[in-house]
Protein backbone atom coordinates (compact mmCIF):
# COMPACT_ATOMS: atom_id res chain seq x y z
CA UNK A 1 0.00 0.00 0.00
CA UNK A 2 2.99 2.32 0.33
CA UNK A 3 3.35 2.74 -3.43
CA UNK A 4 -0.38 3.21 -3.95
CA UNK A 5 -0.58 5.76 -1.12
CA UNK A 6 2.36 7.73 -2.54
CA UNK A 7 0.76 7.76 -6.00
CA UNK A 8 -2.52 9.06 -4.54
CA UNK A 9 -0.79 11.76 -2.49
CA UNK A 10 1.46 12.93 -5.35
CA UNK A 11 -1.43 12.94 -7.86
CA UNK A 12 -3.62 15.09 -5.60
CA UNK A 13 -0.77 17.50 -4.83
CA UNK A 14 0.26 17.88 -8.48
CA UNK A 15 -3.29 18.55 -9.74
CA UNK A 16 -4.02 20.87 -6.80
CA UNK A 17 -0.86 22.92 -7.23
CA UNK A 18 -1.01 23.13 -11.03
CA UNK A 19 -4.53 24.51 -10.86
CA UNK A 20 -3.64 26.96 -8.10
CA UNK A 21 -0.56 28.18 -10.00
CA UNK A 22 -2.67 28.72 -13.11
CA UNK A 23 -5.38 30.58 -11.21
CA UNK A 24 -2.86 32.73 -9.36
CA UNK A 25 -0.93 33.73 -12.49
CA UNK A 26 -3.84 34.10 -14.92
CA UNK A 27 -6.75 35.57 -12.97
CA UNK A 28 -7.11 38.66 -10.82
CA UNK A 29 -8.80 38.41 -7.44
CA UNK A 30 -12.56 38.09 -7.79
CA UNK A 31 -12.45 37.16 -11.48
CA UNK A 32 -14.89 34.48 -12.58
CA UNK A 33 -15.14 31.91 -15.36
CA UNK A 34 -18.61 30.44 -15.79
CA UNK A 35 -18.17 26.78 -16.65
CA UNK A 36 -21.76 25.54 -16.59
CA UNK A 37 -24.15 28.44 -16.51
CA UNK A 38 -24.56 30.09 -13.12
CA UNK A 39 -24.09 27.06 -10.88
CA UNK A 40 -20.50 25.95 -11.63
CA UNK A 41 -18.12 28.90 -11.49
CA UNK A 42 -14.35 29.24 -11.29
CA UNK A 43 -14.13 32.15 -8.87
CA UNK A 44 -10.66 33.23 -7.72
CA UNK A 45 -10.50 34.07 -4.05
CA UNK A 46 -7.97 33.64 -1.25
CA UNK A 47 -8.34 32.83 2.43
CA UNK A 48 -6.10 32.73 5.49
CA UNK A 49 -5.81 28.96 5.51
CA UNK A 50 -8.97 27.31 6.77
CA UNK A 51 -11.04 25.01 4.58
CA UNK A 52 -13.86 26.28 2.34
CA UNK A 53 -12.93 29.95 2.63
CA UNK A 54 -13.25 30.38 6.40
CA UNK A 55 -10.76 32.74 8.02
CA UNK A 56 -8.70 32.89 11.19
CA UNK A 57 -8.39 36.32 12.74
CA UNK A 58 -5.16 38.29 13.04
CA UNK A 59 -1.48 37.71 12.27
CA UNK A 60 -0.91 35.70 15.45
CA UNK A 61 -3.97 33.62 14.69
CA UNK A 62 -2.63 32.93 11.22
CA UNK A 63 0.78 31.90 12.57
CA UNK A 64 -0.82 29.70 15.24
CA UNK A 65 -3.01 28.07 12.60
CA UNK A 66 -0.01 27.38 10.34
CA UNK A 67 2.03 25.85 13.18
CA UNK A 68 -0.92 23.74 14.29
CA UNK A 69 -1.42 22.50 10.74
CA UNK A 70 2.24 21.53 10.39
CA UNK A 71 2.01 19.50 13.60
CA UNK A 72 -1.28 17.94 12.47
CA UNK A 73 0.13 17.04 9.03
CA UNK A 74 3.21 15.46 10.63
CA UNK A 75 0.95 13.45 12.95
CA UNK A 76 -1.26 12.31 10.07
CA UNK A 77 1.81 11.36 8.03
CA UNK A 78 3.23 9.29 10.90
CA UNK A 79 -0.16 7.64 11.47
CA UNK A 80 -0.42 6.81 7.76
CA UNK A 81 3.04 5.25 7.79
CA UNK A 82 2.14 3.14 10.83
CA UNK A 83 -1.07 1.95 9.16
CA UNK A 84 0.85 0.89 6.06
CA UNK A 85 3.45 -0.96 8.15
CA UNK A 86 0.68 -2.82 10.01
CA UNK A 87 -1.08 -3.59 6.72
CA UNK A 88 -4.39 -2.22 7.92
CA UNK A 89 -7.61 -2.06 5.91
CA UNK A 90 -6.88 -0.67 2.41
CA UNK A 91 -9.86 1.68 2.33
CA UNK A 92 -8.86 3.09 5.71
CA UNK A 93 -5.28 3.68 4.53
CA UNK A 94 -6.45 5.35 1.31
CA UNK A 95 -8.80 7.65 3.24
CA UNK A 96 -5.95 8.80 5.51
CA UNK A 97 -3.66 9.26 2.48
CA UNK A 98 -6.28 11.46 0.77
CA UNK A 99 -6.77 13.56 3.93
CA UNK A 100 -3.00 13.91 4.29
CA UNK A 101 -2.64 15.08 0.67
CA UNK A 102 -5.43 17.64 1.07
CA UNK A 103 -3.98 19.06 4.28
CA UNK A 104 -0.49 19.22 2.76
CA UNK A 105 -1.80 20.88 -0.40
CA UNK A 106 -3.26 23.82 1.51
CA UNK A 107 -0.21 23.99 3.78
CA UNK A 108 2.00 24.50 0.73
CA UNK A 109 -0.01 27.63 -0.09
CA UNK A 110 0.24 28.98 3.46
CA UNK A 111 3.94 28.26 3.78
CA UNK A 112 5.31 29.26 0.37
CA UNK A 113 2.87 31.27 -1.75
CA UNK A 114 3.60 34.48 0.14
CA UNK A 115 7.28 34.02 -0.72
CA UNK A 116 6.99 33.15 -4.42
CA UNK A 117 4.08 35.31 -5.61
CA UNK A 118 3.30 39.00 -5.61
CA UNK A 119 -0.01 39.93 -4.04
CA UNK A 120 -3.20 39.31 -6.00
CA UNK A 121 -5.72 42.15 -6.15
CA UNK A 122 -8.88 43.06 -8.00
CA UNK A 123 -7.04 44.89 -10.81
CA UNK A 124 -3.94 42.85 -11.70
CA UNK A 125 -2.69 39.28 -11.85
CA UNK A 126 0.00 38.09 -9.43
CA UNK A 127 3.56 37.54 -10.69
CA UNK A 128 5.58 34.43 -9.99
CA UNK A 129 8.95 35.10 -8.28
CA UNK A 130 8.69 38.93 -8.40
CA UNK A 131 11.89 40.96 -8.18
CA UNK A 132 10.97 42.64 -4.93
CA UNK A 133 10.04 39.38 -3.25
CA UNK A 134 6.69 37.91 -2.32
CA UNK A 135 3.77 39.50 -0.57
CA UNK A 136 4.26 38.03 2.91
CA UNK A 137 6.75 36.03 5.04
CA UNK A 138 7.01 32.25 5.43
CA UNK A 139 3.84 30.65 6.90
CA UNK A 140 1.72 33.74 6.27
CA UNK A 141 0.63 32.99 2.70
CA UNK A 142 -3.01 32.77 1.63
CA UNK A 143 -4.68 29.66 0.27
CA UNK A 144 -6.00 29.85 -3.30
CA UNK A 145 -9.64 28.80 -3.75
CA UNK A 146 -11.59 28.61 -6.99
CA UNK A 147 -14.56 26.19 -7.07
CA UNK A 148 -17.91 27.87 -6.50
CA UNK A 149 -21.20 25.98 -6.80
CA UNK A 150 -24.15 28.33 -6.12
CA UNK A 151 -26.60 25.60 -7.17
CA UNK A 152 -29.59 27.23 -5.46
CA UNK A 153 -29.94 31.02 -5.48
CA UNK A 154 -33.10 32.47 -4.01
CA UNK A 155 -34.43 34.57 -1.11
CA UNK A 156 -35.70 33.40 2.25
CA UNK A 157 -39.51 33.58 2.41
CA UNK A 158 -41.05 36.52 4.26
CA UNK A 159 -42.26 34.27 7.08
CA UNK A 160 -38.76 32.87 7.79
CA UNK A 161 -37.54 33.94 11.28
CA UNK A 162 -34.67 36.50 11.41
CA UNK A 163 -33.68 36.03 7.73
CA UNK A 164 -36.91 37.14 6.10
CA UNK A 165 -36.31 38.26 2.50
CA UNK A 166 -32.52 37.89 2.70
CA UNK A 167 -30.49 36.18 -0.01
CA UNK A 168 -29.99 32.41 0.25
CA UNK A 169 -27.25 30.62 -1.72
CA UNK A 170 -26.41 26.93 -1.63
CA UNK A 171 -23.51 26.01 -1.83
CA UNK A 172 -21.87 29.31 -0.78
CA UNK A 173 -18.25 28.44 0.25
CA UNK A 174 -15.50 28.62 -2.39
CA UNK A 175 -13.04 25.73 -2.15
CA UNK A 176 -10.18 23.96 -3.93
CA UNK A 177 -9.02 20.43 -4.77
CA UNK A 178 -7.21 20.08 -1.44
CA UNK A 179 -10.42 20.92 0.43
CA UNK A 180 -12.27 18.37 -1.71
CA UNK A 181 -9.63 15.74 -0.93
CA UNK A 182 -10.10 16.27 2.81
CA UNK A 183 -13.88 15.95 2.43
CA UNK A 184 -13.58 12.80 0.30
CA UNK A 185 -11.04 11.32 2.71
CA UNK A 186 -13.24 11.93 5.74
CA UNK A 187 -16.23 10.43 3.88
CA UNK A 188 -14.20 7.33 2.98
CA UNK A 189 -13.03 7.11 6.58
CA UNK A 190 -16.61 7.12 7.87
CA UNK A 191 -17.67 4.54 5.28
CA UNK A 192 -14.68 2.35 6.14
CA UNK A 193 -15.41 2.46 9.86
CA UNK A 194 -19.13 1.90 9.38
CA UNK A 195 -18.49 -1.09 7.08
CA UNK A 196 -15.98 -2.57 9.53
CA UNK A 197 -18.43 -2.17 12.42
CA UNK A 198 -21.23 -3.74 10.36
CA UNK A 199 -19.04 -6.75 9.51
CA UNK A 200 -18.07 -7.23 13.15
CA UNK A 201 -21.71 -7.16 14.25
CA UNK A 202 -22.66 -9.59 11.47
CA UNK A 203 -19.85 -11.96 12.48
CA UNK A 204 -20.79 -11.76 16.15
CA UNK A 205 -24.44 -12.58 15.44
CA UNK A 206 -23.61 -15.45 13.03
Catalytic-labelled residue, pool 16, 59, 109, 145:
145
Decide if 16 is catalytic: no
15-53 pLDDT, tens digit per residue, is 999 999 999 999 999 999 999 878 899 999 998 765 544
State residue 155's pLDDT score.
85
The residues with which 175 forms a beta bridge, in sequence order, are 147
Q: What is the dihedral of CA 83, 105, 62, 96, to 10 degrees?
A: -20
**Residue ranges covered by each domain of the chain:** 2-201
Percent of the residues in the chain that have a pLDDT greater than 90, as a whole number: 65
Task: Say how far apart CA 165 and CA 188 lie, in whole Å.
Answer: 38
State residue 7's pLDDT score.
97
Task: Say how far apart CA 108 and CA 38 lie, in whole Å.
Answer: 30
State residue 108's pLDDT score.
96
Helix (H, G, I), strand (E, B) or coil at 197: helix
Pairing relation of β-strands 32-36 and 40-47?
antiparallel
* Per-residue pLDDT at 54 exceeds 60: no
State residue 61's pLDDT score.
76
Decide if 109 is catalytic: no
Catalytic-labelled residue, pool 16, 59, 109, 179:
179
Q: Best-predicted range by mean pLDDT among 47-51, 84-88, 155-159, 161-165?
A: 84-88
Q: Which comes out higher in pLDDT, residue 198 or 132?
A: 132
Amino acid sequence: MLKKSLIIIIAILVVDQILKFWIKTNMHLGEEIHMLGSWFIIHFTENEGMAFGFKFAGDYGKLALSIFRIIAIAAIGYYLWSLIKREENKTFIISIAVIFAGALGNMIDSAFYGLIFSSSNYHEVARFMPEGGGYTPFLYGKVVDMFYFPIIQTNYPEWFPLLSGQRFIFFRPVFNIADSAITVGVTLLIISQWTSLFKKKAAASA
